[in-house]
Chains A and B, each alone.
Chain A
């Protein structure tokens, strides 16, 4: 699936929720089920410090695709990480570089991906792109 297809699929899933509690509960449940990053990846090297919550991000390249593992100490942040990982992990570097995250607005979670929230997510998206850039330069 392309990044765009996955984003459409997520928008579709969220469209069945009527109000904020249901959307948030879904994100929280995603946060709870996200396969946690192995402790070995939760290093200072992989940390992205937000003012509010912390995010760990690790990337690996296999067969021309980038795979991300991530975690956070806040569960809402973790739930949104789960969504972002679903969108970006396993994609080719050039597709990651071209993609945007506007779908987050459409699923009613815009405030969590705002630069002023300082929860580490905006920096995480930047870091995802940096990894993609680094891997595409290497190839």
Chain B
């Protein structure tokens, strides 16, 4: 049973005042808050088993290594990867995308094509542009419609055998759209293209199944899914990870180092150069345990309730327009009010203790598509309540009256 009062007790940060008002945290798509078990696990790690991993023979090093590898197994199970060595620890989604984009220099040649979508975060555009510049390849963009949904007929039309990789988000950070990634993957595979899914926004809501999706690469950040900042995962199919060159050279990723030539370690270590964020990797496992304990199905169901309540409440405000109205979306509401700049709304609701994001959300092409300078984005998590949405609606009305 999902008990919101009990869930809120797990998040100590929520119980505070900001600018003299109870904090309403609606910037969850930027980063999630952390439950007490995660906060405790960080402290426990440093209080009891901190040591460098994979190299010491001493007891602490063994404990830390075991905890790190247990976390990798948890993540493998969570995303149903075939092998644990297909789960690479990274510092977050951005580094996962860069690892793949950098390695794909090996496969993308002059005249080839790389495809992204019109609703990508800058992190899933720029690394591919850099790849295309290096290789002399062309970047193609899957267009979207006015609701903020990808136009799949156009996607199919753009696909051909020169497309080497398609990089698309599972869920859009500025619109909330859930993309049909299974369809995207299948169509890409039909022309021999690989697929990378940016799962940054999906990790806190969905449980993607790597084998069922037949995904080549899937990457997400720990900090958006109740885990620590600077932790993250890149899943890669074994066959791809074996073919890709190492991303960074250094300790841990080598088998033998000679001045004439070095040889590289086996997976996953080939891609994990240097001392990693050990605590981050371990505690990401704790965060995933926590999400599973609350239940991702419960989380998604409750958040959908918040989404429809919030959509209805905000739509009652005259002049308010929601940007991103896909049929299939998560609990993200991006909006504008006629004639009012989003920055002004964000600054005023902040004075009432409400944290929303304003601006272009690192998706300038999306803002350009909708012809707005930015939006106000309220993103709800499973620890938010309908009463908080009421507070947001009241604050937006007040801002509108002050600014209008």
Residues of A participating in the B interface, judged by any CB pair closer than 8 Å: 20-21, 24-25, 28, 51-54, 73-77, 111-112, 118-119
Contacts and interface: CB of A to CB of B under 8 A. Distances in A.
A25 B402 contact: yes
A74 B19 contact: no
A119 B343 contact: yes
A51 B342 CA distance: 12
A75 B359 CA distance: 15
A74 B341 contact: yes
Given A20-B351, A24-B351, A52-B359, A73 B402 contact: no
A73 B341 contact: yes
Nearest to B346: A52
B358 interface: yes
Contacts of A53: 341, 343, 373
B374 to A, nearest CB: 7
A54 B344 contact: no
Given A51-B359, A53-B341, A28 B403 contact: yes
A19 to B, nearest CB: 9
A77 B360 CA distance: 17
B181 interface: no
Question: Which of B19, B343, B374, B402 has most A Cβ within 10 Å?
Answer: B343
28 contacts: A20-B19, A20-B351, A21-B351, A21-B402, A28-B344, A28-B402, A28-B403, A51-B359, A51-B360, A52-B342, A52-B343, A52-B346, A52-B358, A52-B374, A53-B343, A53-B373, A73-B341, A73-B373, A74-B341, A74-B343, A75-B340, A75-B344, A76-B343, A76-B344, A76-B348, A77-B343, A118-B359, A119-B343
Given A24-B402, A73-B373, A75-B341, 9 more contacts: A25-B402, A51-B360, A52-B342, A53-B341, A53-B373, A74-B341, A75-B340, A75-B403, A118-B359
Interface size grouping (class) on chain B: 10 to 19
A77 B340 CA distance: 12
B368 to A, nearest CB: 14
B326 interface: no
Contacts of A28: 344, 402-403
Contacts of A118: 359
Contacts of A74: 341, 343-344
Question: Which of A74, A112, A118, A119 has most B Cβ within 10 Å?
Answer: A74
Question: Which of A76, A112, A119 has most B Cβ within 10 Å?
Answer: A76
A76 B347 contact: yes
Nearest to B340: A75
Contacts of B374: 52
Contacts of B340: 75
Question: Which of B342, B346, B373, B402 has most A Cβ within 10 Å?
Answer: B402
A112 B402 contact: no
A25 B351 CA distance: 13
Contacts of B19: 20
Interface in B178-215: none
Question: Which of B342, B360, B403 has most A Cβ within 10 Å?
Answer: B403
Contacts of B360: 51
Interface in B381-404: 402-403
Contact of A24 (B341, B342, B348, B373): B348
